Amino acid sequence: MRIMIAGATSAGLLMGSYARAFEALGHEVRGLSVPEAAVASRSPWLRLRRVPIVSRIGRDQLIVEGNRVLTTEGLRWRPDLIVTDGEGVLAGTLGTLKGAFNCRAVMIYPDPLMDLRPEIVQALPIYDLVVYACGRFGLPFFEALGARRTAFVPFAWDEAIHVRPPDDARHAESVDVGFVGEWRPDREEWLEALAGFDVGVWGSKAWRTKAAPGSVGRRAWRGRVWGDEYVRASRQSRITLNLVGVTNGPGLNMRAFETAGMGCFVLATRTAAQEEFFRDGEHLAYFESAEELREKVRFYLDHPDERHRIAANLAALAYQHTYRQRAIELLALLNDASMQSVNGVAQPARA
């Protein structure tokens, strides 16, 4: 099958993980994001050396320029399936390609619902399947906005990017509690509950420029990490935090399965979507308040055997949640014409 990924396929990004998974399954894959396509358009509004003049051209025009190239490439290559995260892909592009050679299209949306842009909403009815990666709770809202078929296909572990060290590999646990992620006000607030513990924070310089002076997050910041460095930073923490962003509501994030695959002991914000996969005290531990966060950090630091038992259970579970398995699930949902997904549950199609 020819699969066109209309999105950025760099290592560590969702579309990149799906692209490699489809290739591993024997499909022919091409990737092109709208920003990349805009550069390829050679529009006079773009500078030489591929730098957009954002002060002279708005985002909407950049999207149009990129979609012109995306449409042209699609018409030339004639993929059987278009897979996208929705970012910048216009309804007209999808309609043109589907009308020209009857391909199918799937959107895998990876962000909080509040981040839905108008062009994504406008394109929802054109997709053959709309997948939400953050949680089952979002599916009725996609359907209310016009999606014809929806499914909850969560994030997964990309074992090629976040490589788990061998079980016998020695690693130094150099901090009590570690968090890898970007600065957000709610995350800074959670970390304040850990004053007095040895905390490590890895992310962009925003932890230094936006976190309050003297805050735990600002003092604990150690720089940005990616790929192997992300694994090392997570593994050197006795307790690895998964702080689900407040705008994600009851959902889950990419970090949920990444930390599982890396073999960490995880202490996570309790959400309904995570509880579908991870049991408290068996796969990880949850907290719901600053007081509970502090209490559980103290408890699990004092009980290393419990940490290691739970982390081993989580690591074993991760093998059931790889992007290869997600790609198989996605294609099965798409190809089974006798089934439709209602709020993430496959049911016989209505006549």
Q: Rounded to whole angstroms, how far apart are CA atoms 228 and 213? A: 30
240 within 8 A of 267, measured Cβ to Cβ: yes
- Tell which wins on pLDDT, 173 or 67: 67
Q: Which of 80, 28, 25, 1 is nearest to 327 (CA)?
A: 25
Q: Is 204 exposed, middle or buried (0-12, 13-18, 19+ CB in 10 A)?
A: middle
Tokens of 125: 């009815």
Q: What is the mean pLDDT of the chain?
A: 90
pLDDT, tens only, 221-240: 999 998 889 999 999 999 99
pLDDT digits (tens, 9 = 90+) for 179-194: 999 999 999 999 999 9
Average pLDDT, stretch 4-16? 93
- Intra-chain end-to-end CA distance of the chain, in Å: 29
Q: How far is CA 196 from the centre of its chain?
A: 32
Q: Residue 344 above 60 pLDDT?
A: no
* Domains of the chain, residue spans: 2-156+322-348, 175-318
User: Which of the four pLDDT bands, split at 50, 70 and 90, describes residue 109?
Assistant: very high
Fold (topology level) of 2-156+322-348: Rossmann fold (3.40.50)
Which pair of tokens denotes residue 13?
């990004």
pLDDT 10s digits, 140-153: 999 999 999 999 99
CB atoms < 10 A from the CB of 170, how many? 6
pTM of the model: 0.90
Q: What is the CATH number of domain 175-318?
A: 3.40.50.2000
Q: Fill in the amino acid letter for 333.
A: L
Helix (H, G, I), strand (E, B) or coil at 187: helix
In Å, how far are 156, 238, 277 from 284, measured between CA atoms?
16, 13, 10
Q: Which residue has the higher pLDDT, 252 or 344?
A: 252
Helices 254-262, 304-318: axis angle to 10 degrees equals 110
- Compute the average pLDDT of residues 36-44: 76
Q: Which phi and psi angles does 285 have, rounded to 5°?
A: -130, 145
Following CA atoms 152, 157, 161, 165 in sequence, which dihedral angle do they give, to the nearest 10 degrees? 170
**Cα separation, 235 vs 225, whole angstroms:** 13
User: What Cα–Cα distance (Å) separates residue 7 from each residue in 16, 85, 177, 180, 248?
Assistant: 8, 6, 34, 24, 22
DSSP string across 191-207: HHTTTTS-EEEES-THH
CA 127, distance to chain mean position in Å, is 20
